[in-house]
Every structure is written in C-alpha cells, then in structure tokens.
Amino acid sequence: MDSVLDTIDPIKYEIFMHRLWAVGEEGRIALQRVSASPIVVQGGECMQSFYDPAGRMILACSGHLRFAAATSDAIKKIVEWFGTDPGFNDGDQIFNNDPYVAGSHTYDQMVIKPIFYDGRLIAWTASSSHTADTGGVMRGAATEIFHEGLRILGLKIVEAGQFRNDVCRTLVEQCRDPYYVELDLRSRIAGNNVSAQRFLELVDKFGVEFVELASQKVIDDAERMARAKLKSLPDGTWRSRMFASGMRKPEPYQIICEMTKSGDSLEFDFTGTSPQLNDDQNSTLPSSLAHVTIALTNALFWDVPWSDGKMVPVKVNIPEGTLLNCKFPAACGGAPRVGQILVSAVSECLSKMLYAGGRFEDINAGWQGLWYEGGPGYFYGGHTRQGIPVAQGLYDIHGGGFGASPLRDGVDSGGHANIPSGGISDVEWIELQYPFLYLTRNHNPNGCGYGAFRGGDGTHRVYMAYGTQDLSVDFRPYAGIPNGGFGLFGGFPAGSGGFRAVFRTDPEDVKSRMSKGQYPTSPSQIMDENWGEAIERTDSGPHAKVPEWGLITDFTQGGGGFGDPIERSLDRLQQDLDAGIYNRWAAEKFFAAVVDENNKIDPEATAAMRQARREARISGKLSSEVADTSNDSVVILKPHAELEIVDNQGKALWRCRQCKHEMGPANQNYKSFALSVVEPLDAVAEFPLPSGDKFIGEYVYYFCPNCGAQLQVDVYCPQLGGDRQWWDIKIQLP
C-alpha cells in the first residue's frame, strides 16, 4: 500500500486536499445558516468532517475539534451495532448523541451520513453541533445520565433520502422548544447533504480510486508527520496537576497528567485523578480521549493534517471510575468543563516539552485560567418577555484570553482553545434572544496571568434581567481555587480579579437611577454604590432565581503568564495600566511597580522596589546554600526559561540562567534546591468570595536561592493533599 500511495501525483493530491477542506467548510457554513442555536450560529460550536469506510477520520474542518475526534468513535460503534441490522444504504442519515458512545454530553449531537458510489460505501461525512435543549432537568441538576434528557445511540432520521417526520417529531417533542431543536436537527442534515454532494463531485473529477488512495494518504501522512515531530523533541516526562470543583458542593477535585515522550511516541497517564463525582462534573472515556486530541491538535500537531493518523503514535491510560472515565450511568452534562481542565493539563506538559525542544513560537501558557469557580454560570431557564423559552447558554467564554508565549503577551479576548473558528455573540443579538440588558462587556481588570509576558485578558460583564418573571441560572457553590490555567516558568496561572454573583436589587430604586442615566459597569460600583446585595448561596438547588431588575456580574477565562512578573518592561506595564488591564493594586503587588496617584509608574522607585523584592525572596537563605557560580560548565539543555542543565566535570546539574548559580543534580526535582514560599489565595485575591468563605487553595512560589529569580508558581490544594512540591520536569539525558 505504501508503494501505491507514493505513486500518487503530488500536485493532484494537494489540489484534492485543499478541495476537500473547502467542501467541509461549505458544509459547516450550511449548517450554521440553518441552525437556530446562538452557540452554533455565532459561537461556532459545530463541525463537518470526513471518514473512511472503517470510521477513521480523513479530515476535520475548522470548528469544534471535540466533535471531530468523537465522531470516529460513533461511526465505529454504529457500524458494529447496526451495520447488519438494519444496515445502511445510500441516502441514509443517522442521529446519535450518547456521550458514552461519542461526544461529551447529550447536548453534543451528530448526524452521520454514509457516502456511496456505484452502490459501494466509500466514505462517511458527519455534522455535529451543540443543542442546549435535550428535555432533561436544567443544567447542573443531574446525578445520572437518565436525568440529562434525550439520549439516542443511533436512529435513522433520513432513510433512503426520505426525511422521517415520525422520528423527527418523536425526538423534538421531548424538548422544551421543539421548533428550535428541529431547526438544529435539520441543519446537520443540510451540512451533510452539501458535503456528501461535493465529495461525490470530487470523485467524478478525480476518479474513485484516486479519492480512496488520497484519503488513505492523508491518514498515513498525518501519522508520519506526527512521528517526525515527536522524534525531533527531547525525551522526558512532564507532569501537570490541575484543580477545579464540583457542582453541588464546593468539593475540589484534581486532574493529574503524566506525559512521557520516547522516540517517536507519546504516552499519557492520568492515574491519580479524582474519583467520579455525584453530580454532572464527569467525563466519559470518549469525551476525555477527544479532549486529549484537542490539546495535541492545538499545541503540537496543528500543522499535521487533522485526521486520525496523528493519534496513532499516542497512547492514553485513564483509570475507570475517575471523573475522566466515569462509569455508566454517571451524569456528564458538565463534561466539556472537565474536558477543558484536561486540555489545560495536557497543554502544560506539551508546552514544557516544546520549550525544551526550542520551539518557542509553538508555546503558550494556559488558555483556560479562571480565578475561582462558583456563583452564576452560563445556562439559563425561563422565558423572554415575548414568552419564548430562553436559548439557554451565554457563551462569552468563546472570547477568553490566550496564554502568554516566550516571545509576546497573550491575545486579549482572542477566542477559545477548543474552537479555532469560534466567536462570541453580539450584544444586540443576546438582548433579542434573552431577557437581558447588557450594561457593560469589557476586559476584566486584573483578569489575566501576571508575568514578564502577561496572559491575554478575558472579559467581564454586567447585565440585568428585564421582562421576565421566571428566569433562573445554574448556580454553583463558591470554591476558591484557580482552575484550568497554568503559568510558565514564574508566570501566574490566572489573574486574581473578577467577581461572579447574582445581585438582588430594589426594582424601584433601579428604575429611578436608570431614568437619570445612572447604571453600574463593574462589581465594585454595584457594591460601593449599593445597587444590590449579592446572593451568597442558593436554596433552590443547583439553580438560582434571577428576579426582574436583578443584576448579574461574571468574568471569563484569562491566559496564563510567562516568566517572572518583576521582569516585565515598564513600557508594557504602563500600557496595561492605561488600558485598564491591570490597576494600581496589581501593579504594586505582582509587578513590584511604584505607581503614583495619576496611574503613572515611577521608574527609579520601581527599580528600587524590584531590587528589594528580590532581596526579600532570598532573605532567609543560609550562606552555605549558595554554590559555585562559575561559568565553566557546559550547557546541555535549556528545558526552563530560568534554568538550564549543565555538565560540570561529568555531573549534570540544574543552573540558574541569570546568575549561573548551580543548584543540584539534573535527575532530581529542581524545586528541592530552590527557595519556596507558600501564600494563601485570600492574600492574593482582589475581592473576597461573595459567599464569605475562605479560598481553599494556595500559591507555592519557587525562587533561585542566589538571585531571587521566580522559577515557578504552583497551585496547591491542602484539602486534597499530595505533594506540595510538585515534580513537573523529568528530562532524560543521554
């Protein structure tokens, strides 16, 4: 087969590849034009992709990467279960949304279409999108999959080219808004119709034999390119630990990722991840595997064809019964959030491996950094002022901040790690489809990770319930621990600004103030000017009632920082202050900058403060801890922005790259030779938690014992225990 594939005309093959991508994009655009979901039409949560007869993905087009990876599983299972009875024929289309088969939760819905040529199955195309209404309990209330509404293993919605109204009505009438759900269902069929027709046009143009061989070559090329990239990177083991919390209680959980790279293969082990929870914050095995694929596509294999071939060199071990491989019938409505934590854990390991390999342009700190969880979420129940059921989710999270790189700051409100073509809804559209009035949507002050290069800033918003008597929002207990983000080499995983709350207000007072042109644009203003009182907890289970004229404040994820914040240039920091990215409090606390009452940095005073900060970091060290700082050692590898591995008379040692202080053997954890300081998160937070509870996490800082350079900022949760001194980099030296 390899020799046959090598004979394919390379120019013809490249034309085919680009045409196939364009065909998939045309199908995806058709889906978005028919869909009724704001998350699809504007948010971009959809995907069109192609598969070979065995269900291996040939090519996925830009959309939600989770869908593309998961659909391979769905096709293989549907063929296994239903390939003989009832079988598949030309013109069929099959509906599936079982997260234990494929996808993340019942809201991830796909329609799969076999493509026949001269009576022979030659490929599949599939369209996937997110439908917020499945007829189950409101988001966050489920404890079993049976609570989460419509769940279909495989059902023909189109048979031999005939749309089945009986199946359609049976599906959509189980939901609160059948018209909306039916449009979403028909949109996937439309996407498949376009893609299948255009695929057959490629067959007519190039010939069926060429198309089949070229499709096989896409998969084989992806594997070859993935292995070549892995082989070019250093061998070693990298480890990440991420924290988040459950839905019903402020119960922290952890995701442990150990990544080992050897030669041209990569292995992930998630042993140590917390057990599955008794709420919907769980992920099925297909969902977790799809999220591993997302992380690899984003950070490592972005320039490899998006096919299943790129995953052949990758092995993944996820113990059953953990929240990344939950046992049936566990609820999993929150699986995408769990998956985002998983993506971050994998991405941290990949970023550190790529840094060791010198691929600086490919590296980002975390894209999912939230300062804490809890309070109002994104999913709404109730009706608009016209009596129409609300469209459920608000997806400003699609405009979060990107992580910093070794070369530049992260992008502000740049997008979402899982959706290359994602977007956030226009405020006017939101106000048309939801019972809301937006008072502000802007960048979140102190919402991005501090560093020499800062993370991209996410957004915050203040909006008001208007024209509704039954509005509710999912409401999670406050859990004060950063989650889903990571900083690199001294940068912080997230900013520590932002306030998420539902405020009860006096309607007459709000009307009176607004009639005078007054309205709040920040949580501080709401509290300082007594616009309302934050709901600390909810007595209505996992949902909180939002009274008309009530206010909601929220913030989205920000990017992690890169490098020691006190190394940030004063020009860049002044620009941050002028733009409102950081305020005076953050500039002084994290960047050791002296800022006057006019919000201007004093350079001389700042230089003195930064020197004092370095001295304070090392003030407790003993003189015996300072080793030889000669420059005679030979650099072997640079796996860390602030540290390098050197050969000193046959011994491999960690050495500070700034002051050349040699710290200890390179086969041991560099943190065991560094100075460390533990700081409770309450001391770092700009605002207390709205519930009045204490933060449950802490920051652990590591410094060079000789010059005080900040080497790493780790999040630790004493409640979960485990090693506080987390060993994250284990390089295999020749």
Measured between alpha carbons, how far is 420 from 664 in angstroms, rounded to an integer?
Answer: 42
Span 330-350, average pLDDT: 95
- With a pLDDT cut of 90, the percent of the chain lying above it is 79
Please give the pLDDT value at position 623.
31
List Cα–Cα distances, 387 to 336, 430, 467, in angstroms.
30, 16, 10
88-141 pLDDT tens trace = 999 999 999 999 999 899 999 999 999 999 999 999 999 999 998 899 887 778
| Chain Cα centroid distance, residue 409 | 19
Q: Where are the alpha helices (DSSP H) in 85-143?
A: none
Characterise 387 by phi-psi region: left (phi > 0), alpha (psi -120 to 50), beta (else). Answer: left
Given pLDDT bands bounded at 50, 70 and 90, which one contains residue 41?
confident
Cβ of 239: how many Cβ atoms within 10 Å?
20
Encoded amino acid at 456, one letter:
G
| 689 neighbors 478 (Cβ within 8 angstroms) | yes
Span 57-80, average pLDDT: 86
Measured between alpha carbons, how far is 161 from 89 in angstroms, rounded to an integer?
Answer: 9
Give 650-653 contacts, CB < 8 A, sequence gap 24+.
652/733
- What is the DSSP code string of 331-355? --TTHHHHHHHHHHHHHHHHHHHHH
Report domain extents, the chain.
2-226, 364-562, 564-619, 627-734
- What is the DSSP code string of 282-299? ---HHHHHHHHHHHHHHH
Measured between alpha carbons, how far is 407 from 641 in angstroms, rounded to an integer?
Answer: 11
Show the tokens assigned to 256: 């442990």
Unique residue bearing structure tokens 């019972």: 435
Please give the pLDDT value at position 3.
59
Span 185-212, average pLDDT: 97
Please state, rounded to an integer, the average pLDDT across all residues of the chain. 92
155-167 pLDDT tens trace = 999 999 999 999 9
Please give the pLDDT value at position 501.
94
Given pLDDT bands bounded at 50, 70 and 90, which one contains residue 540?
low
631-667 pLDDT tens trace = 568 999 999 999 999 999 899 999 999 999 999 999 9
Q: Classify residue 570 by burial, with Cβ atoms within 10 Å: 0-12, 13-18, 19+.
A: middle
Higher pLDDT: 694 or 619? It is: 694
376-398 pLDDT tens trace = 988 888 998 888 888 778 888 88
Please give the pLDDT value at position 370.
92
Q: Is the pLDDT of residue 672 over 80?
A: yes
Please give the pLDDT value at position 631.
57
Q: Specify the pTM.
A: 0.95
Closest CA to 369 of 456, 443, 453: 456
